[in-house]
Structure formats: structure tokens, C-alpha cells
Amino acid sequence: MSPWSPRTGDSKDYSSEVALASFVVIASKQSVVLNWVTAHELGNIGFSIERRFIEDENWLQIGFISGQGKHFTQHEYNYEDHPGKTGLISYRLRQTSADGSYNYSRPVSVSIKKNDIFTLFQNYPNPFIESTSISFQLPEDVKNNVLLKIQNMLNEDVRKLYDKPAVPGYYNIEWNSLNEKGQAVSPGVYNCILETDAGYMSKKIVKISFKPPKE
């Protein structure tokens, strides 16, 4: 599954000019930080950041960050939002290319509230084919490094998805089923592990292969 939603806004069959490697949204009590990484870019004008509260029907553009134009190595982007209210909030990116076409990222939802719970949620979808979304929540007493990683059933590390100091809040991270070398992992059962000074949690996640129906 591509991290981009189906392309809209034109009738031509464009190939994606911007490879989105990850899109992470982190919520604390008063702010939301968006972090996304592109694997490469070609003709990228930039990204509009759009937000929608649960009670709203329409998306609102709250910011814009210029792209790299033509870039063939990974590049990281960051944007911080202060929504000014609590509740469930969704975010998405609108990437615009020089030819006038554009892509939307899949929306990611976070909750702005008092964080007193430590938990690792079950990934979604599960099982998954190419990518899956992993969410966790950190309580107020988290102070040190936070590690979210994927291990195989031999307890061997496959991919570190998050490995740095973190603030209390709700985190949503997408795993594109690639290992640390950028290679797609085989279908099977994996362990998603969250390690913090507030505790340790793990969930089993399942990658399956896609077999098209027989005609």
C-alpha cells in the first residue's frame, strides 16, 4: 500500500514523483509535531500541511513547506502545529509537483489530551501487505530515550522506527515493511517492541503476501 492516497486533481496517469518514506505525527498536551521523510524527489514544489478536527467536514491548510525540487537522497521535513484545543485531530500532506499534479498522504489522527497512559496499540491494518501504522502513547513521567523497533521471531532486530528522547504524547508511525538496509522483509510474524523508562510492551504484527485472484 502506497503512503500516498490515489492521485486526484487531474485525469492523466502520472507516476509518483516524490517517494514518501515515512510520515510521523506526535501529539503532546498543547502541540503537534509532524515529521516526514522523502526517499527521493523529482519536480517537487512543496507540501501543504492540512488539518481537520473531528467535528469539521473540510480540511484546512495551516502551513506550507517548500520541497527540494530534484533530490535523490533522503530528506527530512518538520512542522509544528499549536491547534489551541483538545480532541481528535487529523493531519495530511498535499504534495504538489511542477507539472501541476498533486498527491495526498494518507490521513493520520492524533488526540490532544492529558497523557497519563503508557500503551502500545495494535498496528493497523493487521495483517498488512506493504505498510502498517503503529501508535503508542507516553505518559507524563517519560524522561529518557524511547525505542520502538521491529524484531523477527528469532529476536533479531529488523528495523528501529524510533530511537531518541521523547516527550509525553500520542505517537503514530508508519512502517513500510523495510529493514535497516532498505530491503523488504519476508511475509511472516514479527514483534513490535516499545521500550521506555515507563515500561516495556510488545505486539505481534503479521505481514502477508498479495496473491491476485485467479481469473
Q: Which domains does the chain have, with CATH numbers?
A: 18-112 (2.60.40.10), 119-207 (2.60.40.4070)
List the one residue out of 120, 137, 112, 132 whose CA is nearest residue 206. Answer: 132
**pLDDT digit string (tens) for 14-58?**
445 788 888 889 887 678 999 999 988 999 999 999 999 988 889
Give the per-residue pLDDT at 197.
Answer: 82
Average pLDDT of the segment spanning 81-100: 88
- Grid cell, residue 63, equals 502551513
Q: How confident is the model at residue 210 (pLDDT cuts 50, 70, 90)?
A: confident
Computed over every residue of the chain, the mean pLDDT equals: 85
CB of 193 closer than 8 Å to CB of 151? yes
Average pLDDT of the segment spanning 88-105: 91
Check pLDDT > 60 for residue 7: no
Give the per-residue pLDDT at 215.
Answer: 54
Residue in the structure block whose three cell numbers are 533530490: 71
Check pLDDT > 60 for residue 12: no
Give the per-residue pLDDT at 13.
Answer: 41
The whole-angstrom separation of Cα 110 and Cα 87 is 8
Question: What percentage of the chain exceeds 90 in pLDDT?
Answer: 47
Give exposure, 100-116, as e/b (b: 16+ Cβ within 10 Å): ebbbbbbbbbbebbebe
- Beta-strand pair 108-112/119-120: unpaired
Give the per-residue pLDDT at 6.
Answer: 52
Give the per-residue pLDDT at 168.
Answer: 81
The whole-angstrom separation of Cα 184 and Cα 197 is 31
pTM comes to 0.55
**33-37, 133-137, 196-200: range with lowest mean pLDDT:** 196-200
